[in-house]
Amino acid sequence: MDLFNLQGRVAVITGGYGVLGASMAHSLAECGVHVAIVGRKSEKGEPLAAELSQSGAEAIFCKADVLDREALVAAREAIVAKWGHIDILINAAGGNMPGATIMPDQSFLDIDFSAFGGVMNLNLMGTVIPTVVFGEQMAAQKSGSIINISSMTAQSVVTRVVGYSASKAAIDNFTRWMAVEMAKKVGEGVRVNAIAPGFFITEQNRTLMTNPDGSLSDRAKDVVRATPFGRLGQAEELHGAVIFYASDASKFVTGTVLPVDGGFNIFSGV
């Protein structure tokens, strides 16, 4: 038996046309997984679904905001009507938001409560609501793997990104809570884990991590110095963790948060 075999399984990826989500979608499609991309913009989701369909698996786009329960229920119904089951949910929608970051010349006194609440809502509720909606189908099947996307900012303090960090710490806690809830109420067939990526340049952090000419910002250089591998991550370096959690290779694993970070979280910087 191939422990990592995912052929014929069905994955839902929120934020599926984001940089990390799309990379994960390609990786799963290459493993023979049918993929439903969930996002707000058809003009981004439809072409990606068409592209994924060329790798042998099937793919569709479902238009839904992760904070909109009704739209997610409609997406779930369309997916189950097409493929009959949902085996994998990756909660990859999210990120930081303009206004929620403390600028270098600001302090805690400048925390914008509305922006802090907005980023908490997007990342935490944007994970909780899809987990409930797609988890309902998994509970009915008594099988499925939910993969949340945490961050290094949940475990170690990263300056400036106060709301984002709080929201990702809450995702770690929700991952553990939901893992126990599923195990106790549904059984061991439904597992809930999280991946905590280190630092990857994507749309949501490009202005913090790069200068206008594309070179690394001083902040990105600080991150690289604090990473034993001495570099930022590449999106495809998350694929192994996704395939592990999605497949039977992790059959006895639930409630964990796996860092994929070049050693950032275990290094004091000295």
17 lines the binding site for ligand NAD (CB under 6 A): yes
92 lines the binding site for ligand NAD (CB under 6 A): yes
Of 45, 57, 126, 172, which one interacts with ligand NAD (CB under 6 A)?
Answer: 126
Catalytic, out of 116, 134, 164, 244: 164
Token look-up 């630092």 returns 199
15 lines the binding site for ligand NAD (CB under 6 A): yes
Contacts of 44 by beta carbon, 8 Å cutoff, 6+ apart? 17
Which residue stretch of 9-17, 53-61, 136-144, 219-227 sits at the interface with ligand NAD (rule: CB under 6 A)? 9-17
CA 176 to mean position of chain CA atoms? 15
In whole angstroms, give the CA distance from residue 117 to residue 12: 26
Of 163, 197, 259, 262, which one interacts with ligand NAD (CB under 6 A)?
Answer: 197
Residue 164: active-site member: yes
67 lines the binding site for ligand NAD (CB under 6 A): yes
151 lines the binding site for ligand NAD (CB under 6 A): yes
151-154 long-range contacts (CB < 8 A, ≥24 apart) are 151/196, 151/197, 152/196, 152/197, 152/198, 152/199, 152/259, 152/261, 152/264, 152/265, 154/196, 154/257
Residues at the interface with ligand NAD (CB under 6 A): 14-15, 17-21, 39-40, 65-67, 92-95, 122, 126, 149, 151, 197, 199-200, 202-205
